[in-house]
Amino acid sequence: MEHTRRPQRQRESNEFIFGIRAVIEAIRAGRDVESIYIQRGLAGPLILELKAMLKDTDIPVNHVPVEKLNRMTQKNHQGAIAVISPITYQRVEDIIPVIYERGETPLILVLDGVTDVRNMGAIARTAACAGVHAIVVPVKNSAQINADAIKTSAGALFSIPVCRHHNLHKTALFLQECGLQIVACTEKTDDLIYAPDYTLPTAIVMGAEDEGISNEIMRMANHLAKIPMVGDISSLNVSVSAGVILYEAIRQRIR
């Protein structure tokens, strides 16, 4: 399957922009911002302008002590630092119609609370090899796309679309409305990953290793599916689990 993507500017690591006015201008110019750090308790017209602008974006905002900013840089940050992403985030609403227009069957991977950057990179590498059309992540509680993630992905994060959304539950509902079944990979079921028909348009949801998939998504999923475990260890790393279920989907699709 051919990925639906926009051209990406490939960079080895994240860039930083310092200063409130510089951050405002970066957002206004449409730069791909990974996250923003703002000093706690900061006041003034410029910071109010920045906060007002951020309300209309999907950019994660972290309010931190000034010591955190000082550790990030010794430059005059004025209480605001923007981390520029090495990738261009996309919208799954723009991607799904193109997949159907190409006559392809959508295969989307949703990561609910996967925060480890190396897991993110490993999952992206497997997803790209398996022909996944896009990876969907939440704005908050998700791994940052940084140099470690890019390296672990073997560059796959430059080729596979990554879509960042505020509300994964609403995004999952949108996918269902577009004809995709939601398959939640979880241990809280007796059904195995071999039961769903992955030849249908599908979104596979993987959760964090400690907390799993959110209850909202679990309740609305079309299928709950678990990977069978027969040894003494009762769980797999999330990147390994993603590979197992993705390749069951590919096995069915090439059969």
Beta strands 33-39 and 80-84 are: antiparallel
Contact 226, 189 (CB under 8 A): yes
User: Are 185 and 157 within one domain?
Assistant: yes
Q: Do 116 and 232 lie in a common domain?
A: yes
Using only C-alpha atoms, what is the Rg of the chain? 19
Tokens of 208: 């964090």
pLDDT of residue 57: 84
Choose the most confident range, by mean pLDDT, from 9-23, 88-102, 229-243.
88-102
Show which of 84, 115, 139 is a domain's final residue.
Answer: 84
Looking at the structure, tell me whether residues 183 and 116 fall in a common domain.
yes
Q: Which of 84, 109, 143 is the last residue of a domain?
A: 84
Strand 223-225 to 181-185 pairing? parallel
- Check whether residue 169 and residue 223 sit in a common domain: yes
User: Can you name the residues that pair with 80 across neighbouring β-strands?
Assistant: 38
Domain membership of residue 150 (yes or no) is: yes
Structure tokens at 197: 């028909």
- Is 101 found in the same domain as 45? no
Q: Place 208 in a pLDDT band, splitting at 50, 70 and 90.
A: confident
Kindly report, residue by residue over 13-66, the tens digit of the pLDDT: 568 999 999 999 999 988 889 999 999 999 899 999 999 999 888 888 999 999
Q: How far apart are CA 74 and CA 89, in angstroms?
A: 29
Q: Are residues 25 and 118 in the same domain?
A: no
Residue 234 has pLDDT above 80, yes or no: no
Give the tens place of pLDDT for each residue, 121-168: 999 999 999 999 999 999 988 998 988 999 999 999 999 999 999 899
Q: How many beta carbons lie within 10 A of that of residue 60, not counting itself?
A: 20
CATH number, domain with residue 32: 3.30.1330.30
Burial of 56 (0-12, 13-18, 19+ CB in 10 A): exposed
Instruction: For residue 76, tell me if it sits in a domain.
Output: yes
Positive or negative, the Cα torsion across 83, 161, 200, 192? negative
* 180 Cβ contact partners less than 8 Å away, ≥ 6 residues apart: 96, 106, 108, 200, 201, 202, 203
User: Domain check: are 74 and 181 in the same one?
Assistant: no
Q: Residue 135: give the domain boundaries.
A: 92-254
- The pLDDT, as a whole number, for residue 14 is 66
pTM, 2 dp: 0.86
- Please indicate, yes or no, if residue 142 is contained in any of the structural domains: yes
The pLDDT-based confidence of 110 (bands split at 50, 70, 90) is very high
Report the alpha-carbon distance of residue 133 to residue 51 in Å, rounded. 34
Integer Cα distance of 204 and 208 in angstroms: 14
- Between 91 and 231, the higher pLDDT residue: 91
Would you say 147 and 17 are in contact if contact means Cβ atoms under 8 Å apart? no
Q: What is the CATH number of the domain that holds 143?
A: 3.40.1280.10
Of 25, 55, 84, the last residue of a domain is 84
193 and 243 both lie in a single domain: yes
2, part of any domain: no
Asked if residue 104 and residue 78 are part of one domain, the reply reads no
Residues 211 and 147 both lie in one domain: yes
> Total domain count for the chain?
2
7 within some domain: no
* Residue 164 near residue 142, CB atoms below 8 Å: yes
Tell whether 51 is covered by a domain: yes
Whether residues 160 and 111 share a domain: the answer is yes
Residue 129 lies in a domain: yes
> Quick check: is 5 in a domain?
no
Tell me the CA distances in angstroms from 39 to 33, 36, 51, 68, one per residue in order. Answer: 17, 10, 12, 8
- Within this chain, do residues 98 and 75 fall inside the same structural domain, yes or no? no
Q: SS3 string of 80-131?
A: EEEEECCCCCECHHHHHHHHHHCCCCCEEEEEECCCCHHHHHHHHHHHHHCC
Q: How confident is the model at residue 82, as a pLDDT?
A: 94
